[in-house]
Amino acid sequence: FKAIGRVAAQNVPVLIRGESGTGKELVARAIYQNSNRSGEAFISVNCAALPDALLESELFGHEKGAFTGAEKQRIGKFEACSGGTIFLDEIGDMSQLVQSKVLRLLQQQRFERVGGNETIQTDVRIITATNLDLDQMVRDGEFREDLFYRLNGLTIKLPPLRERDEDIVALLDHYLQFWSAQM
């Protein structure tokens, strides 16, 4: 967890690797809370939980009439999170189209909404996570190599919980507090 302190102060993308259930989102939140962006928004998006078309609209927003059912303009997470940090969980499940748009955002800090022509400037730090082997996905052509290298600026590899007995109590405490607050 020393790595969290080292990467929090740097305003660069972070890739968190680890099996499901290892606490990747908790690490992302700890990075955010210890960064100079901690007073701004933190938004978490699970890329595996949304179909491609919906993920693109969720991240970048859409204009009225951009597709069937788009009855009004909607801002996306990158726009809503300007100044803050966005956590893209399960980045390896993202389609090539959405990958190319995220790459452009990383390079230029600007994007267009789905169905729009207006370029929107943003300032967002991206933290990503995956339980997949992105290196192999790049070799297999399933994940963009240029995006991989942009996201891989700083990498934190989380060992599985079965190798981190000392963290189990802290995770249990966190989830007990979280679920107690929900009740």
| Whole-number average pLDDT of the chain | 90
**Average of per-residue pLDDT across 129-152:** 96
Residue 126 has pLDDT above 90, yes or no: yes
Q: How confident is the model at residue 167 (pLDDT cuts 50, 70, 90)?
A: low
Residue 173 has pLDDT above 90, yes or no: no
* DSSP code of residue 114: B
> What share of the chain in percent tops pLDDT 70?
94
Identify the CATH homologous superfamily for domain 2-182: P-loop containing nucleotide triphosphate hydrolases (3.40.50.300)
CA distances (Å), origin 159, targets 5, 109, 128: 18, 32, 16
Helix axes 52-60, 96-108, angle to 10 degrees: 20
Beta bridge partners of 155: 15
Strand 14-17 versus strand 154-157 pairing type: parallel
Q: Are 159 and 22 in contact (CB under 8 A)?
A: yes
The pTM assigned to this predicted structure is 0.86
Strand 110-112 versus strand 119-121 pairing type: antiparallel
For residue 5, the model assigns a pLDDT of: 83
Q: Exposure pattern of 33-51 as b/e (b: 16+ CB <10 Å)?
A: eebebeebebbbbebeebe
51-107 pLDDT per residue, tens: 988 999 999 999 887 788 888 988 999 999 999 999 999 999 999 999 999 999 999
For residue 1, the model assigns a pLDDT of: 60
From the CB of residue 172, how many other CB atoms can be counted at a distance below 10 Å?
10
> What share of the chain in percent tops pLDDT 90?
69
